[in-house]
Every structure is written in structure tokens, then in C-alpha cells.
């Protein structure tokens, strides 16, 4: 790092006793939004500019890693970024001090390291590093007053990760081009995540639902009317497989009109608030509560972190959003306790809430929290978009609640004896709200519960009616953004900064698609996964991938050499790569299949081909004839024609319709699966509702196979 040289202006001492440099100071951050916010906090002697992320990186056109000389990388100025670098160098020449203020993580440290080298080659000025966890006036001024050096170990960890990913991607991808299909790609961490999604899909497909029944009954006791469920029959838990078994119980109980409340139990429980958000917890809650994808969550969090206009001022509303720590600074704890003590004094605990950070956490940053607790969600409504406000609200609620008293709930269970059957109704109410007082979007089921019955043991109850209900057992659920992030975190695959990019890459490569918020592997994704599992099992092994992440952590903590770590991985990987290249049979063309159909334009046979977006039909006369068609996914139940995937005009939303449209108007929202109904022979579809979750059902509304009442039938697709 360039150091101060003789002849430079000496630093002056401010009233606070901190040294501040004379002359012009250049501060370089990553984004224009962050630059705009920080510039408002600093005086006229500061110029704040944005690097727009990485300016220097590996070239895209070649490997650029010298594997024979300790994996030395060849860095170049990113294409299209030379003018930005030139402008920063010109600004540096006009300045007396340069402060590098990129994000305080591996990528940010690498950006600062590259900028220092590029600037030091052109100017002989002091270049220093500043870091901060939140973008507020106090945090920025404190960071500027205490500059430091670049963390070389953190830079080495980023370099090792970048080189590992390059070695895997730039060696495996050409192999896939040669042996499978042009244009394919494979990645180190993404491939392990893809395997998890593909294996879950196999479990979903192989699951066979089983029928079972439940029995509820409506009772009247005094002025109370309530519904209770059968929990015991002749002293044992009922196992009702068929409707006739339920009917037999109904027939035996029906003569018993007068029933009795045999027991009323009350159990009180203390509900402790949860810790403030980590990155993975924020992504999971935003997915479950708000329906956000991981990518959307991080994009909105980035905007809240970098700064929002609040009237005449601009401020970062939350702390840094890539963290695996639940730690909170003492300043933030003091501010939170002061606000709670003023607003909800009866719910301020004697001591602040301290939450242990997980063993695997790097603890480089605080938990995600509001920078100012006084900026309540209600006070921010006028300044934030709807989605920004919703995300900010759950962050504010989670942090504020974490520093309040626990809530207390009471669960009441009432047993009603009806002949040989025991029915039960239970409900939970909040006795002391505690931290629930600040919960709105994150309110629990207990807080929302409103059941209030006044029943005591010995009360008589009149049985009014029975409500038997058919169900089908639920198979394993496909991964969603929330559940895959949770699994990746639990298995140690990736880090807070990589969860959202992992999902995005799989979607961008069309290895995975989203269906009703679920992650579903495509034919292409499953093919790539099968090849990698068979021939490169370590690459897609989650335990191995987690060990690599631990090795990167060891590099960042100066406990391991980055080049030795890469060498340990690369040598056996290269041996295996060479073996597979010689022995792997070519799949090229094997996925193409000539079908018994002809091109309507030229009369040649049609061929089933695998493209970037799945299978399609193409004329065998290509390139002379470029006619293509969608693959049929089912037989139309109305006319016997082909059912194909279609899309709405406005937003491209997929639905399924007859290829003979407009002659045949059959359409459905539900995805056909490769199975026919054993009762009527029509195709089965995959359906979803809140009560039953995901299940298979016959497309024929007149068929009762795996069908539930009140379902939406065929109709025009929404144009949203």
C-alpha cells in the first residue's frame, strides 16, 4: 500500500482529538447510490466516487490461470470499465489522500486490493482502507477518522475462491460441450446445489399418495358451538384408511346424542423472541412471509443499506446485509433499550438480549438491524416503496422484538367423550404480549388466535353433526428459495453472499425453473447432474463442497496457504478430468429423436431436440428449413390433439393448451405429468391448495381420482 511521503501536508487535529488530513480526499465506494449517501455526510474536501463493482478481474475468453506456477492469475481491466478506472486515476491525481471504501467482505476487499494497485501505478499518494457496517453519519465519520490497511488474507480467500471456480468451470464446461451438447456449463458450488434439487425431485416423482380420513364433529354446549376432532377410538389413535371405516364409527356414535366434557387442560408457555436476522434467516422469512425470491430480497436489502431519501436527508436504513452473525453493537443495544423503555416500559427486560452466534459463523459483521430504531416502519411509509417497506418492517420488527420481554401463551385442550370416541379441540391465546406488541408482519399464529370457549369438565355437549374428510398423504416438498437456503446453510455450502447467486445461476442456465415458488429441475439440469454425479462425484458432493468452504475460511484467517489449498484440489481433479475425457462416451445427438410426424412446411421428418430451454421439435431439414414446434406434454381430453406449453401475452406466464386452438379451446393452469389416470385414462396434473399442499389429480372433472371438491376447473389463463 502506498504510504505518506515527506513533503505531504500534515494531518490536523479536530476538536474531538481525532486526526483528519488536510487537502482533498477521494473516497471510492462500489455503487453510485452508496456514493450519493456518503457524500452528504462528508465535508466539501471529500469527493466520493463509485467503482461500479469490480474494475479488474480474470478475462472471460480464456482460463488465465498459470497452473504450473502456483496458480498465478492473469488480471485485466474488465471490458467496458477502462473509462471508469481512468476517471478514478484522474481524481486520485487531484487528491491528497485516497480512501477505499468497498464492502467489508471478501469481494469488497479484493476490489480495494485491485484499486490500490491500479491507482498506485499512476499516483504517488497515500491509499488507505476504511470499513463500516452501516451507512450513517456517525459510522462514516468514524471510519474516515480511523483508516487502516487492506486485509491481505481476506484477499487471498477471494482469490482462491475465484480460481477454484474458474478451474472447475473452464475445464468441465468444454468437456460437456464435447461430450453432451454445445453451450453447457458447470460450476463448483452450483452443481452441489443442483444435485440437492434433482435428488428431491426424484423423491417427489416416486412418491405414491395414500388415502386416509379424519373425522370431526360439531358440538353444542350451553351457548358454545365448536368443532372437535376424533383423537381416540376405544382408547387408541384411529387409523382410518377408507371411507367405510369412518362411516362405521359414525354409525356407532350417532345414537349417542348426549356427550360430556371429560377434561379441560391449560398449559402456559413462555415464548422467547428470536435473534436479529442473519442473511439466510432474512431470505427465508422474506420468502415465507412476503413471497420474495432470494435475489429480490438481497436487491431490496442492498437499496435499504446504501441509502434512502428521508425528507431532506439521505440515510442507510439497515446495516450490512451479508452476515452470518447475530451479534449487535453496544451502541445499537443502548439505543434499542432507550426506545423500548420509552415506548413499552413494561416490556423492557433487565438485561439486553444477547444471542449466541453459530459455530460456523465468521462473525465479520453485526446481525441485520435498522440503523435507527426510531425510524419505525410507520414513519417510513412515505419514503419507501411497498416492497421496501415490507422488507424493512420485518427487519425492524425482528430486531426490536429481540430486545423485549418474552410473551406468554396459554394453550387450552378440551376432551369430549362421545361413546367410544374421544374428540378434542385445542386453541392457544396470548396471555402477556411482550415482544408481540411490535409484531405485525411477523405475528405468530398464537397471537392471531381468537378462539375463546368457556367449558369445564362435566359439562354436557350435544353432538350436532359429523364432518368426515378425505385426505392423501403428502410426499416430500420440492425446495423453495427459503428451504434451499436453509439446507445450504445447514450443510455449509456457500456463504451469506452466495445463497442468492447460487439460485440465480441455476435459473439463468435453465437447469432449474420456478413453479409456484418451488425449484424444479429441467430435463437439461437433470442430465447435467447425472453426468456429474457419475463421473465427478466430488464436485457435486455437499460434504466435499462444505469442506472447501472451511478451507477458504482457513485462508481468510491466515491458517492456510491459498495456493496450497488450490493445489490440493486441482491435482486429483485434473487427473480425473483427463480420464473422463478419454473414457466418457459421447452423448451428442443421442438426445435427438426422430418422431413419427412431418414438418408442415417442407414434409421432412421432425426431430425431438434438447435446447437451452428444454426439448422442442425441429425440422430434420435444418438449416434449409427452420421450422420448430413445442413438444406435446399430454393428449387433449376434448379432441385427442396435442396439449402443449403456451404463454400469456402480457407477462409470458406459462399455461397448457391444445395445439388445435382456436378450433379446440382446451386450456388448464395445472402442469400435466407423465402419468394417466387409472380410472378414466385421462392425464394427471399437479395441483396445489393450502389444505392439501401439492398433489396429483385427474384432469377430468367428472373423475374422482385424487380429486377434491371445489377446485378450479379449466378456464382462460390470467393475463397478469
Maximum pairwise Cα distance, the chain: 104
Q: Which of 41, 46, 305, 320 is catalytic?
A: 320
Cβ-contact 379, 396 below 8 angstroms? no
Cβ-contact 134, 371 below 8 angstroms? yes
**471: region left, alpha or beta (phi > 0 left; psi from -120 to 50 alpha):** beta
Q: Cα-flanking dihedrals φ and ψ of residue 564, to 5°?
A: -65, -35
Residues paired with 697 in a beta bridge? 685
CA distance 711 to 97: 68
Q: Which long-range contacts (CB under 8 A, 24 or more apart) does 425-430 make?
A: 425/226, 425/227, 425/228, 425/229, 425/453, 427/451, 427/452, 427/453
**222: region left, alpha or beta (phi > 0 left; psi from -120 to 50 alpha):** left
3-state secondary structure of 243: helix
- In this structure, the strands spanning 518-521 and 512-515 are antiparallel
HEC assignment per residue over 295-359: HHHHHHHHHHHHCEEECCEEECCECCCCCCCCCCCHHHHHHHHHHHHHHCHHHCCCCCCCCCCCC
Cβ-contact 697, 707 below 8 angstroms? yes
The residue count for the chain? 720
Cβ-contact 391, 286 below 8 angstroms? yes
Residues paired with 418 in a beta bridge? 421
CA distance 402 to 276: 6
DSSP state of 584: P
Q: Which long-range contacts (CB under 8 A, 24 or more apart) does 685-693 make?
A: 687/711, 688/516, 692/471, 692/472, 692/474, 693/474, 693/477
Q: Cα-flanking dihedrals φ and ψ of residue 79, to 5°?
A: -55, 130
**494: region left, alpha or beta (phi > 0 left; psi from -120 to 50 alpha):** left
CA distance 176 to 444: 48
**516: region left, alpha or beta (phi > 0 left; psi from -120 to 50 alpha):** left
CA distance 404 to 345: 10
Cβ-contact 301, 391 below 8 angstroms? yes
320 is catalytic: yes
Q: Residue 534 contacts by C-beta under 8 Å, 6 or more apart in sequence?
A: none
The closest of 73, 53, 106 to 563, measured between CA atoms, is 73
3-state secondary structure of 177: helix
Cβ-contact 228, 423 below 8 angstroms? yes
**Alpha-carbon torsion 34, 36, 41, 45, what sign?**
positive
The closest of 402, 408, 422 to 354, measured between CA atoms, is 402
Q: Residue 144 contacts by C-beta under 8 Å, 6 or more apart in sequence?
A: 20, 25, 27, 42, 46, 99, 130
Residues serving a catalytic function are 320
Amino acid at each position: 500500500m502506498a504510504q505518506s511521503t515527506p513533503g505531504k501536508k500534515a494531518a490536523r487535529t479536530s476538536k474531538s482529538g481525532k486526526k483528519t488530513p488536510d487537502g482533498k480526499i477521494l473516497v471510492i465506494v462500489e455503487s453510485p447510490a452508496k456514493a450519493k449517501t456518503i457524500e452528504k455526510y462528508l465535508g466539501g474536501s471529500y469527493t466520493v466516487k463509485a467503482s461500479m463493482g469490480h474494475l479488474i478481474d480474470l478475462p472471460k475468453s480464456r482460463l488465465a490461470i498459470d497452473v504450473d506456477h502456483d496458480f498465478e492469475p492473469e488480471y485485466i481491466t474488465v471490458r467496458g470499465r477502462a473509462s471508469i478506472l481512468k476517471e478514478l486515476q484522474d481524481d486520485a491525481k487531484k487528491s491528497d489522500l485516497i480512501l477505499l471504501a468497498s464492502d467489508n467482505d471478501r469481494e469488497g476487499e479484493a476490489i480495494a486490493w485491485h484499486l490500490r494497485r491500479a491507482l498506485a501505478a499512476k499516483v504517488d499518494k497515500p491509499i488507505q482502507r476504511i470499513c463500516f457496517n452501516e451507512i450513517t453519519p456517525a459510522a462514516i465519520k468514524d471510519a474516515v477518522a480511523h483508516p487502516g490497511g487492506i486485509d491481505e488474507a481476506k484477499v487471498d480467500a477471494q482469490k482462491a475462491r475465484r480460481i477454484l471456480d474458474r478451474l472447475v468451470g473452464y475445464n468441465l464446461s468444454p468437456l460437456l460441450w464435447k461430450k453432451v451438447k454445445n453451450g453447457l456449463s458447470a460450476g463448483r458450488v452450483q452443481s452441489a446445489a443442483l444435485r440437492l434439487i434433482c435428488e428431491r425431485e426424484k423423491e417427489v416423482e416416486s412418491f405414491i399418495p395414500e388415502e386416509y380420513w379424519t373425522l370431526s364433529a360439531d358440538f353444542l354446549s350451553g351457548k358454545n358451538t365448536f368443532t372437535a376432532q376424533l383423537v381416540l377410538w376405544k382408547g387408541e389413535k384411529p387409523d382410518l384408511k377408507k371411507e367405510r371405516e369412518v362411516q362405521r364409527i359414525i354409525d356407532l356414535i350417532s345414537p349417542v346424542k348426549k356427550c360430556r366434557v371429560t377434561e379441560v387442560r391449560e398449559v402456559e408457555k413462555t415464548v422467547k423472541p428470536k435473534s436479529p436476522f442473519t442473511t439466510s434467516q432474512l431470505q427465508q422469512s422474506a420468502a415465507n412471509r412476503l413471497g420474495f425470491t432470494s435475489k429480490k430480497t438481497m436487491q431490496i436489502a442492498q437499496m435499504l443499506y446504501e441509502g434512502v431519501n428521508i425528507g431532506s436527508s439521505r440515510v442507510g436504513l439497515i446495516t450490512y446485509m451479508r452476515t452470518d452473525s447475530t451479534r449487535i453493537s453496544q451502541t445499537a443495544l443502548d439505543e434499542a433499550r432507550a426506545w423500548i423503555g420509552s415506548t413499552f416500559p413494561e416490556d423492557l427486560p433487565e438485561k439486553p438480549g444477547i444471542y449466541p452466534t453459530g459455530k460456523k459463523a465468521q462473525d465479520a459483521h453485526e446481525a441485520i438491524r435498522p440503523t435507527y430504531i426510531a425510524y419505525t416502519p410507520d414513519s417510513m411509509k412515505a419514503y419507501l416503496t411497498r416492497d421496501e417497506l415490507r422488507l424493512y418492517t420485518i427487519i425492524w420488527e425482528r430486531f426490536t422484538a429481540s430486545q423485549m420481554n418474552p410473551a406468554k401463551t396459554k394453550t387450552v385442550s378440551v376432551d369430549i367423550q362421545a361413546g367410544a370416541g374421544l374428540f378434542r379441540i385445542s386453541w392457544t391465546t396470548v396471555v402477556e404480549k411482550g415482544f408481540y406488541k411490535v409484531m405485525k408482519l411477523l405475528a405468530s399464529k398464537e397471537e392471531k388466535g381468537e378462539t375463546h370457549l368457556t367449558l369445564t369438565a362435566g359439562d354436557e355437549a350435544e353432538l350436532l353433526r359429523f364432518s368426515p374428510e378425505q385426505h392423501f398423504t403428502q410426499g416430500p416438498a420440492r425446495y423453495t428459495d427459503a428451504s434451499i437456503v436453509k439446507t445450504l446453510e445447514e450443510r455449509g455450502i456457500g456463504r451469506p453472499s452466495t445463497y442468492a447467486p447460487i439460485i440465480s445461476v441455476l435459473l439463468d442456465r435453465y437447469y432449474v425453473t420456478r413453479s409456484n415458488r418451488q425449484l424444479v429441475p429441467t430435463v437439461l439440469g437433470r442430465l447435467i447432474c447425472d453426468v456429474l454425479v457419475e463421473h465427478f462425484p466430488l464436485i457435486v458432493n455437499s460434504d466435499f463442497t462444505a469442506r472447501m468452504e472451511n478451507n477458504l475460511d482457513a485462508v481468510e484467517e491466515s491458517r492456510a496457504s491459498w495456493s496450497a489449498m488450490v493445489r490440493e484440489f486441482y491435482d486429483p481433479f485434473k487427473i480425473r478430468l483427463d480420464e473422463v475425457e478419454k473414457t466418457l462416451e459421447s452423448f451428442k445427438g443421442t438426445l435427438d429423436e426422430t418422431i413419427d410426424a412431418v414438418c408442415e412446411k417442407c414434409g421432412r421428418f421432425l426431430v425431438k431436440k434438447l435446447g437451452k430451454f428444454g426439448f422442442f421439435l425441429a425440422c430434420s431439414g435444418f438449416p434449409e428449413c427452420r421450422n420448430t414446434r413445442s413438444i406435446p406434454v399430454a393428449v387433449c381430453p376434448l379432441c385427442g390433439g396435442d396439449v402443449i406449453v403456451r404463454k400469456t401475452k402480457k407477462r409470458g406466464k406459462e399455461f397448457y393448451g391444445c395445439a388445435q386452438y382456436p378450433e379446440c379451446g382446451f386450456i388448464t393452469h395445472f402442469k400435466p405429468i407423465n402419468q394417466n389416470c387409472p380410472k378414466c385414462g385421462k392425464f394427471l396434473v399437479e395441483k396445489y391448495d393450502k389444505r392439501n399442499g401439492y398433489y396429483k389429480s385427474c384432469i377430468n372433472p367428472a373423475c374422482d381420482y385424487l380429486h377434491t371438491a371445489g377446485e378450479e376447473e379449466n378456464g382462460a389463463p390470467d393475463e397478469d
